[in-house]
């Protein structure tokens, strides 16, 4: 090989094969000495080849895994595929290829690209969620949920995508549209399977305390808002005409005396009952038809007029016996609280707008203190909640906050209400009327009803032979008669299998547990899980901030309650990469701005692909590929190559006199790069390595530094670059005379004496007069000095608030603040 030229296309495949052969990245199950580190990357969905988002996420995740390995940890860094899902089925429909074939092909393609990229996965424990060996256990977990009443079936209005012909979870509806195909989502009444995640709403909130500072505030806030806890009360009203009790949920029981009307969600069963056979029936029907065509977002929009109809009935207010009219209105949702509200237009903006639209009365019950009495006729919007009670019988004069407690307690004492906590979180709708998913292990028997498939009959296999993958509102599985028709496991009479499959988010809610060992007898081995988990570092996209992360947290809490895992939170720390865009826009085939990792590897090699991505900016920020230069990175790799080779040769006597500056630089860089990588600042780590490599190249060229010093600097450079660019560093490590892999070498330490930053005294003057002497580091710049000078109490006193006209700095010795005169 030409020692002057580094050829990645020749070097990279060689090392890929060597690492594979040595099983270099296999986690060691038997090692009891080293501490364990579980570095997990969100597993990919196999559609096509890996894209740039994958390159970014996995390059970052790999740096973490490799760094930890070099730091002496026994690292588990697994990979698999989230292999069920709609696109496979759509490919089957449009191209006539079986979803299984399509999926396997994509997995093979992605696996090959992972290997070319040199991601240090432990390939011995890989799996796909569509493997029967995996989904058997997804079904097993389903049955455990079912046994505890946490998986159940009910008829409910669901989000229905008319294009994909399937139901969608609330989380999969984005602004009223299907997350996958963008079509407008409709509401349909269907019998569906749900997981009772709401049972864990409070636990999901409480346990977030463990995640503070280890997950980004952004993700934690998104989860908190999604769970949406509200504290208030249930209050029972009585329908005057029928005597029925109707419960409402309010966060403001203090405003009960201000309720001037009562509103039911249009879908509320009582609304239907109240109008049945009355003069109000026709108008109500028309109203419901329009509401059914509106999305939830439209209904809740503050921009739109709120609409409704009077139902011809009255509700009796439990605090004062007042009869108030009952309406149905679009802004009240069936799924939140109890689907019924008391309307307090004076203090609730939505009620206020509705009252103005329909000429309903507005009554003030909370009066801001020290202000002229509010006049309902003059109000242009509802009034907030600070103030004292008025028009509220025995509660008059009490501060509103206290009235909330008093009213709630009094209602509870009379059996007309109770303290209540409500969550916005809904139960998780898990059934899908699609083929390519995990079959739900339930059999419907005409005499026994729902019968769970016995554990020893798992997995319920997904049949291969399906005549038609096209969705018809029912799962394509319903057409596979020899699969559907089975004997009831309980009574033996002919019965039918459940034909719905599970949401793919079920598959990905526990995969991280299975990586600890592919146990043939169980979903996972609890002892192994105890040794490896919780995951030390999880890396993946912010798009999973709610769904996947919430569902996984829920599953782990459930498994904890079953006694199968000893922790309640699966992911100790979370790192979210930004998006990769091109000229500010998302990359896509249709835009013609798609760059693929495989192309960059073809052109420049894997190291360059990885480094270019990691150097592009802070990991958590978006990366614009238009701004980066793989060519520039390729040139740098060549320079590193030449510098390190030069230093390797200087062992033969090319070194010069000792150079303490070179040594100091090498040690300081070691400290700084270690620190950067520990905090995922991959881009600044690369920048520091670039500076170090320049210094080394210069030293080699000019004979600066002894042969040993040059060599030590070169070794540090190679070791620190190894997690980022595994191939060229492996080649160079061997060129430096090592016979073992650089990836098994120890992360370099540094001499604390050498990294200590020298401190100097800097004189601070105000208008030329010395006012203070401050201690600064030798490398302090003008901005640092100015900030330090301005922070000095003595300087502040001397300035006495006079404005500063000019600042003269002579780093690191002098700052002179010149005031305006
Ligand atoms: C009376 C009231 C007076 C209310 C007031 C607010 C202010 P959050 O905080 O989001 O939980 N509400 C209850 N159920 C509803 C439903 N199904 N659809 C639409 N709105 C509903 O909001 C709770 C408040 O939202 C409840 O408190 C109720 O209005 C309304 F000055 O009751 B409130
Ligand atoms: Zn039966």
Instruction: Check residue 654 and give its pLDDT.
Output: 62
Q: Model confidence at 2, in pLDDT bands (50, 70, 90)?
A: low
Q: For residue 309, report the distance from its CA to the centre of ligand 1, in Å.
A: 19
232-251 average pLDDT score: 97
Q: Is the CB of 347 under 6 A from ligand 1?
A: yes
Which residue's alpha carbon is nearest to atom 26 within ligand 1? Answer: 250
What's the confidence (pLDDT) of residue 81? Answer: 97
CA-closest residue to ligand 1 atom 14: 337
Give the ligand at the shortest distance from the Cα of 443: 2
Q: Rounded to the nearest whole angstrom, what is the distance from the C-alpha of residue 492 to the centroid of ligand 2? A: 6
Q: Which residue of 225, 258, 336, 343 sits with most ligand 1 atoms within 8 Å of its CB, as the best mutation to test the pocket? A: 336
Sign of CA pseudo-dihedral 482, 484, 490, 493: negative
CA distance 331 to 340: 11
Q: Is the CB of 230 under 6 A from ligand 1?
A: yes
Does any ligand 1 atom lie closer than 6 A to the CB of residue 383?
A: no
Nearest to 445 by CA among 491, 392, 499, 410: 491
Per-residue pLDDT averaged across 606-627, rounded? 95
- From 271, 337, 423, the mutation candidate for ligand 1 (largest count of ligand atoms within 8 A of CB) is 337
- State whether residue 818 is helix, strand or coil: strand
* 88-102, 269-283, 651-665, 741-755: the lowest-pLDDT one: 651-665
Closest approach atom of ligand 1 to CA 251: 27
Query: Is there a cis peptide before residue 668, judged by omega within 30 degrees of 0?
Result: no
Tokens linked to 510? 């526990």
The ligand that comes nearest to the alpha carbon of residue 447 is 2
**Choice from 224, 348, 389, 424 to test ligand 1 binding pocket (greatest atom count within 8 A of CB):** 348
Determine whether the shortest distance from the Cβ of 344 to ligand 1 is under 6 A: yes
Q: What is the pLDDT of residues 635-647, one digit of tens each?
A: 999 999 999 999 9
DSSP-based three-state secondary structure for 229: strand
Distance 493 CA to ligand 2 centre (A): 6
Q: Which residue lies with its CA nearest to atom 9 of ligand 1?
A: 230
Give the tens place of pLDDT for each residue, 793-820: 999 999 988 889 999 998 888 999 999 8
Ligand closest to 346 (CA) is: 1
Q: Are 544 and 42 in contact (CB under 8 A)?
A: yes
Please tell me if the CB atom of residue 342 comes closer than 6 angstroms to any atom of ligand 1.
yes
Residue 421 has what pLDDT? 96
- Which of the pair, 142 or 757, is modelled with greater confidence? 142
The CA 342 to ligand 1 mean position distance, Å, reads 8
Burial letters 247-260, b for 16+ CB under 10 A, else e: ebbbbbbbbbbbbb
Q: Distance from first CA to last CA of the chain, Å, rounded?
A: 71
User: What pTM was estimated for this model as a whole?
Assistant: 0.87
> Where do runs of H (alpha helix) occur along 372-484?
400-413, 481-484
pLDDT score at 568: 98
Residue 650 pLDDT: 66
- Indicate if ligand 1 lies below 6 Å from the C-beta of 300: no
The pLDDT > 70 percentage for the chain reads 98
**Sheet strands (E) in 522-589:** 537-541, 574-577, 580-582, 585-586
Nearest alpha carbon, ligand 1 atom 11: 230
Q: Is the pLDDT of residue 155 over 50?
A: yes
Q: What is the pLDDT of residue 3?
A: 58
> Is residue 689 predicted with pLDDT exceeding 80?
yes
User: What pLDDT shows up at residue 653?
Assistant: 54
For the residues of 312-338, what is the DSSP string, one character each? EEEEE-TTT--EEEEEEETTS-TTSTT
Lookup: tokens for 205: 């909130």
| Residue 97 Cβ contacting ligand 1 at under 6 Å | no
In this predicted structure, the answer to whether residue 47 has a pLDDT above a threshold of 70 is yes
Contact 332 CB / ligand 1 (< 6 Å): yes
Bridge-based pairing of strands 814-819 and 494-497 is unpaired
| Ligand 1 contact, 341 CB (< 6 A) | yes
pLDDT for res 758: 75
> What b/e sequence results for 724-762 when a residue is b if at least 16 CB atoms lie within 10 Å of its CB, and e otherwise?
bbbbbbbbbbebbeeeebbbebebbebeeeeeeeeeeeb
pLDDT in tens, 97-128: 999 999 999 999 999 999 999 999 999 999 99
Q: What is the pLDDT of residues 262-290, one digit of tens each?
A: 999 999 999 999 999 999 999 999 999 88
Q: Rounded to the nearest whole angstrom, what is the distance from the C-alpha of residue 138 to the centroid of ligand 2?
A: 24
Rounded to an integer, the average pLDDT of 551-568 is 98
- Alpha helices for 199-280 (secondary structure H): 201-206, 217-227, 269-275
Residue 620, pLDDT score: 95
> Which tens digits make up the pLDDT trace of 57-86?
999 999 999 999 999 999 999 999 999 998
Query: Ligand 1 pocket, 346 CB below 6 A?
Result: no
Taking CA atoms only, the protein residue closest to ligand 1 atom 10 is: 230
Q: Residue 497 C-alpha to ligand 2 middle, in angstroms?
A: 12
**Shortest-distance ligand to the CA of residue 365:** 1
> What is the reported pLDDT for 111?
97
Check whether 203 has a pLDDT greater than 90.
Answer: yes
- Asked whether residue 591 carries a pLDDT value surpassing 50, the answer given is yes
333 lines ligand 1 (CB under 6 A): yes
Q: What does the pLDDT look like over 480-533, one tens digit per residue?
A: 999 999 999 999 999 999 999 999 999 999 999 999 999 999 999 999 999 999
Task: Report, as an integer, the average pLDDT of 376-392.
Answer: 90
Confidence at 246, pLDDT banded by 50, 70, 90: very high
Q: What percent of the chain has pLDDT over 90?
A: 78
What DSSP designation does 261 have?
E
Nearest-CA residue for ligand 1 atom 22 is 251
CA 502 to ligand 1 centroid distance, Å: 34
Q: Does residue 542's CB lie within 6 angstroms of at least one atom of ligand 1?
A: no
The confidence score (pLDDT) of residue 302 equals 73
| Atom 32 (ligand 1) nearest CA | 250
Nearest CA to ligand 1 atom 28: 250
Q: Does ligand 1 have an atom closer than 6 angstroms to the CB of 54?
A: no
337 lines ligand 1 (CB under 6 A): yes
* pLDDT score at 312: 97
- Ligand that comes closest to the CA of residue 259: 1
- Asked if residue 175 has pLDDT above 80, the reply is no
Q: Which ligand is nearest to the CA of 317?
A: 1
Q: What is the pLDDT of residue 1?
A: 43
Cα–Cα distance measured from residue 70 to residue 72, given in angstroms and rounded to the nearest whole number: 5
Asked whether the predicted pLDDT for residue 589 surpasses 90, the reply is no
């Amino acid at each position: 090989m030409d020692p002057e030229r580094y050829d990645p296309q020749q070097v990279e495949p060689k090392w890929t094969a060597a690492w594979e052969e040595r099983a270099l990245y296999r986690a060691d199950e038997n090692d009891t000495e080293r501490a364990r580190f579980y570095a997990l990357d969100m597993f990919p969905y196999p559609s096509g080849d890996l894209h740039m988002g994958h390159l970014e996420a996995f390059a970052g995740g790999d740096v973490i895994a490799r760094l930890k390995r070099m730091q002496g940890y026994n690292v588990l860094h697994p990979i698999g595929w989230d292999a069920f899902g709609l696109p496979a089925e759509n490919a089957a429909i449009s191209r006539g290829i079986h979803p299984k074939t399509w999926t396997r092909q994509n997995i093979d393609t992605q696996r090959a690209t992972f290997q070319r990229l040199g991601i240090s996965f432990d390939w011995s424990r890989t799996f796909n969620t569509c493997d029967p060996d995996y989904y058997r256990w997804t079904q097993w977990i389903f049955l455990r949920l079912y046994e505890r009443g946490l998986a159940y079936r009910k008829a409910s209005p669901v989000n229905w995508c008319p294009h994909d012909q399937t139901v969608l979870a609330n989380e999969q509806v984005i602004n009223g549209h299907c997350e996958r195909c963008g079509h407008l989502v409709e509401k349909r009444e269907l019998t569906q399977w749900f997981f009772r995640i709401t049972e864990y709403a409070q636990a999901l909130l409480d346990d977030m305390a463990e995640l503070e500072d280890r997950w980004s505030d952004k993700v934690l806030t998104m989860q908190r808002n999604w769970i949406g806890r509200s504290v208030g009360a249930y209050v029972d009203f009585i329908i005057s005409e029928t005597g029925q009790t109707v419960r409402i949920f309010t966060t403001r029981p203090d405003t009960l005396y201000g309720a001037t009307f009562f509103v039911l969600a249009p879908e509320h069963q009582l609304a239907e009952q109240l109008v049945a056979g009355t003069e109000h029936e026709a108008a109500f029907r028309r109203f419901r038809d329009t509401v059914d065509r509106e999305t939830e977002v439209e209904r809740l929009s503050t921009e739109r007029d709120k609409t409704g109809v009077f139902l011809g009935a009255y509700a009796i207010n439990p605090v004062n016996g007042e009869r108030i009219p009952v309406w149905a209105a679009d802004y009240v949702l069936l799924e939140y609280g109890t689907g019924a509200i008391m309307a307090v237009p004076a203090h609730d903006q939505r009620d206020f707008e509705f009252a103005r639209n329909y000429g309903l009365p507005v009554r003030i019950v909370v009066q801001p203190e020290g202000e002229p009495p509010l006049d309902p006729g003059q109000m242009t919007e509802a009034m907030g909640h600070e103030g004292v009670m008025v028009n509220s019988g025995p509660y008059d004069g009490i501060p509103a906050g206290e009235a909330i407690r008093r009213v709630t307690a009094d209602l509870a004492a009379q059996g007309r209400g109770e303290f209540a906590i409500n969550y916005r979180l809904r139960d998780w709708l898990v059934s899908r009327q699609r083929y390519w998913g995990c079959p739900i292990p339930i059999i419907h028997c005409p005499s026994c009803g729902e019968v769970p498939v016995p554990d020893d009959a798992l997995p319920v296999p997904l049949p291969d032979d399906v005549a038609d993958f096209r969705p018809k509102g029912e799962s394509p599985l319903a057409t596979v008669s020899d699969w559907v028709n089975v004997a009831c496991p309980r009574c033996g009479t002919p019965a039918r299998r459940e034909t719905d499959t599970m949401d793919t988010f079920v598959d990905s809610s526990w995969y991280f547990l299975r990586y600890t060992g592919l146990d043939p007898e169980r979903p996972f081995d609890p002892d192994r899980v105890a040794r490896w988990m919780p995951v030390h570092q999880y890396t993946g996209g912010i798009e999973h901030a709610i769904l996947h992360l919430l569902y996984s947290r829920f599953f782990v809490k459930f498994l904890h309650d079953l006694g199968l895992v000893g922790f309640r939170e699966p992911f100790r720390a979370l790192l979210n990469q930004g998006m990769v865009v091109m000229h500010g826009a998302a990359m896509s085939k249709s835009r013609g701005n798609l760059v693929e990792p495989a192309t960059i590897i073809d052109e420049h090699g894997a190291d360059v692909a990885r480094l270019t991505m990691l150097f592009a900016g802070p990991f958590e920020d978006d990366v614009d590929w238009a701004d980066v230069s793989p060519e520039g990175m390729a040139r740098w790799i060549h320079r590193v190559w030449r510098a390190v080779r030069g230093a390797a040769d200087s062992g033969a006597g090319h070194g010069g006199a000792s150079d303490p500056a070179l040594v100091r630089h090498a040690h300081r860089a070691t400290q700084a790069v270690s620190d950067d990588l520990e905090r995922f600042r991959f881009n600044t780590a690369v920048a520091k390595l670039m500076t170090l490599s320049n210094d080394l190249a210069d030293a080699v060229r000019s004979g600066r530094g002894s042969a040993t010093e040059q060599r030590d600097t070169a070794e540090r450079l190679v070791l620190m670059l190894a997690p980022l660019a595994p191939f060229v560093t492996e080649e160079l490590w061997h060129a430096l005379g090592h016979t073992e892999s650089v990836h098994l070498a120890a992360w370099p330490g540094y001499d604390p004496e050498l990294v200590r930053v020298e401190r100097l005294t800097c004189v601070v003057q105000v208008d030329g007069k010395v006012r203070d002497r401050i201690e600064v580091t030798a490398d302090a710049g003008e901005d640092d000095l100015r900030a330090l000078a301005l922070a000095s109490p003595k300087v502040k006193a001397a300035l006495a608030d006079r404005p500063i006209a000019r600042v003269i700095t002579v780093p690191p010795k002098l700052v002179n603040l010149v005031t305006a005169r």
